[in-house]
Structure 1
């Protein structure tokens, strides 16, 4: 058994799709704008997990998304070989970070705002 897809609740699936594709560099796995359905995948892992950019139109989902964001907690963690290089690349693209690269016993991490209601953590072992 393996994880095939996971989801992240976003305030605007179409805008999230553009950000995750055009800024972060993910690839389109599925886009059905008429159904507000957008799924991206990592170009580094083409057979890996799909990421569903899920609308937060359900009140329970929106309460969870908003609560996690308000507490400053990342909704998802993306692994990278070099957090500092990704940080510099994304800063150049105008991405707003809430935490610069920081080392601790688990590795190096940084946190940015995905512009669609979530904080995302980058992590390097």
Structure 2
């Protein structure tokens, strides 16, 4: 068994696609119309056949309250691995991305947390170097 697709709930698929491709540098993988919304996924350019991130509409009533509660408590909805948190923080901050947590050494990982402009907090994490 392996993870094939995971999702992040977004308030606007077009805005999310722009942020996740233009700012985070993911690659659009699937874009299939499904009525009012789309099956819209992105992947890491480092692993184009790897796990897909579904930019899923937060249209379900429970989704908005779930997202609001996570953000209010400062809890990221997901985490992305990076090789260098400080470098990625500086790159994203330079592009105007708002961080709620600057790079912080947490022992086995260094993390930072940013707002994805679509109603979510996202963590980036770098494993400690041996």
TM-score (norm 2): 0.91
Q: Which runs of 4+ in 1 moved over 6 A?
A: none
Structure 2 residue corresponding to 1:54, chosen from 53, 56, 68: 56
RMSD (CA atoms): 1.2
Q: 2:96 aligns with which of 71, 94, 105?
A: 94
Shift of 1:38: 1.6
Contact 1:111–1:121 under 8 Å retained in 2: yes
1:51-106 residue CA offsets vs partner (Å, 9 max, x unmatched): 00111110012221121112110011000010001001101111111111010212
Contact 1:10–1:116, Cα closer than 8 Å, also in 2: yes
Gaps in structure 1 of 5+ consecutive residues: none
Q: Which moved more, 1:25-34 or 1:61-70?
A: 25-34
Q: After alignment, is 24-33 or 95-104 more displaced?
A: 24-33
Deviates more, 1:39-48 or 1:60-69: 60-69
Total equivalences in the alignment:
125
Task: Tell me the residue number matched to 1:124.
Answer: 126
What corresponds to 2:76 in structure 1? 74
Following TM superposition, by how much is the alpha carbon of 1:16 offset from its aligned partner in structure 2, in angstroms? 0.6
5+ long unaligned stretches in structure 2: none
Tell me, yes or no, if the aligned pair for 2:37 and 2:57 is still in contact at 8 Å: no
1:115 maps to 117
